[in-house]
């Protein structure tokens, strides 16, 4: 069966206290919305539709992807209205619509895949992911009937005393069959907030007798929404730790895991050692058995096998081939290519320079827009 993803990204983000649209704030170097797009792409969807509001043009310019389209929510009328704005972009799509939120960058793709599988296995019309919150104070509560079936979601401010004791809460992630999208037309405006709540689709679906379920899966951190700078910091720390842990599981050696910052798109080979205070950014790749010493920053570069990047060096958009050595205090500016076994030493700066196999620029040099052959000192 086909799947399409709708990412809701029209929130104003006033609590971020920033001129930058909320979903474009970076978590571990990646705009939040791009992180959600990467998760959605793992489902191989027919469409990825991003619903944006007053920052429409900036978000459209910032997000990349081959099958992404955009829908405008011209007025902030709530999540139910936002999903309605995406229906035109869906066209005559027939299949499952997965609804994600642009400000939840920590979603594990495996959780979404599991959710979609459960939704289809149970042949549901509408499903939602729920989770157990340590502190459910700000979340909508999942209301179940006596047989344990989810029948509605009640927002925290609308919950009564007993409902507020419920710790199973709404993640904001839905699976909706195209045959149930008409329920969006039945959502009524909330009198207090003057908004259309997407949460109401659960009660509407249940009352219609459609198969409706809440699947309590995943970990709480995955579903954390980012609304403030403090939450942005927390999300970045969770993603940073997850990235380091995943690399350690594949055989990367960290001298001090808590002090390194590695973007999640980076790839590092087995038995490579990373010293403290290292920043590895963008889509950098590092081979096997290399050593990256303290205070190094590497951006969008390719580092080979058995390479030594010595203390306090900066490498930008360059290539360092197998068994080469760079630093300490070296600066490779964009377009540099350091050959196998070559050495770039103390206080050497290069820009668009190609250094041949085994050549050496040992100290206090600038080499720009140049090509140096093999074995040159």
Task: State the catalytic residues.
Answer: 363
How far is residue 14's CA from residue 18's CA, in Å, rounded to a whole number? 7
**Is-contact 114 98, C-beta < 8 A?**
no
Helices 32-41 & 109-121 angle (0-180, nearest 10): 50
How far is residue 128's CA from residue 142's CA, in Å, rounded to a whole number? 10
Strands 267-268 vs 314-316: parallel, antiparallel or unpaired: unpaired
How far is residue 38's CA from residue 33's CA, in Å, rounded to a whole number? 9
Place of tokens 């770039």: 344
How far is residue 229's CA from residue 25's CA, in Å, rounded to a whole number? 9
Token digits of residue 195: 């908004």
If residue 232 lies in a helix (H) or strand (E), which one and from where to where?
A: helix 229-249
If residue 81 lies in a helix (H) or strand (E), which one and from where to where?
A: helix 79-85
What is the b/e burial string over 149-166, where b = at least 16 CB atoms within 10 angstroms of the residue's CB?
ebbbbbbeeebeeebeeb
């Amino acid at each position: 069966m086909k799947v399409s993803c709708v990412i809701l990204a029209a929130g104003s983000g006033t609590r971020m206290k920033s001129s930058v649209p909320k979903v474009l704030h970076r978590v571990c170097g990646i705009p939040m919305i791009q992180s959600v797009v990467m998760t959605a792409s793992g489902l191989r969807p027919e469409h990825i539709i991003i619903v944006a509001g007053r920052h429409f043009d900036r978000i459209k310019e910032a997000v990349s992807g081959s099958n992404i389209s955009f829908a405008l929510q011209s007025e902030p009328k709530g999540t139910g209205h936002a999903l309605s704005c995406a229906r035109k972009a869906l066209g005559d799509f027939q299949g499952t619509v997965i609804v994600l939120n642009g400000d939840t960058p920590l979603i594990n793709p495996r959780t979404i895949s599991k959710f979609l599988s459960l939704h289809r296995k149970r042949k549901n019309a509408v499903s939602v992911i729920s989770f157990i919150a340590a502190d459910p104070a700000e979340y909508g509560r999942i209301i179940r009937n006596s047989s344990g079936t989810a029948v509605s979601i009640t927002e925290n401010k609308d919950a009564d005393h007993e409902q507020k004791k419920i710790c199973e809460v709404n993640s904001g992630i839905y699976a909706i069959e195209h045959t149930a999208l008409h329920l969006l037309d039945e959502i009524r405006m909330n009198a207090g907030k003057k908004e259309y709540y997407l949460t109401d689709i659960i009660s509407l679906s249940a009352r219609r007798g459609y198969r409706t379920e809440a699947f309590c899966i995943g970990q709480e951190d995955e579903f954390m929404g980012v609304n403030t700078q403090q939450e942005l910091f927390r999300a970045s720390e969770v993603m940073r730790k997850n990235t380091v842990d995943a690399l350690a599981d594949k055989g990367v050696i960290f001298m001090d895991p808590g002090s390194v910052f590695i973007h999640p798109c980076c790839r590092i080979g087995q038995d490579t050692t990373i010293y403290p205070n290292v920043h590895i950014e963008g889509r950098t790749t590092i081979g096997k058995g290399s050593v990256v010493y303290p205070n190094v920053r590497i951006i969008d570069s390719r580092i080979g096998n058995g390479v030594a990047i010595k203390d306090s060096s900066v490498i930008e958009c360059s290539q360092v081939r197998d068994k080469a050595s760079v630093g300490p205090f070296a600066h490779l500016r964009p377009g540099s290519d350091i050959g196998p076994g070559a050495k770039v030493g103390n206080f050497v700066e290069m820009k668009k320079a190609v250094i041949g196999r085994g050549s050496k620029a040992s100290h206090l040099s600038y080499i720009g827009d140049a090509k140096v052959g093999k074995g040159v000192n």
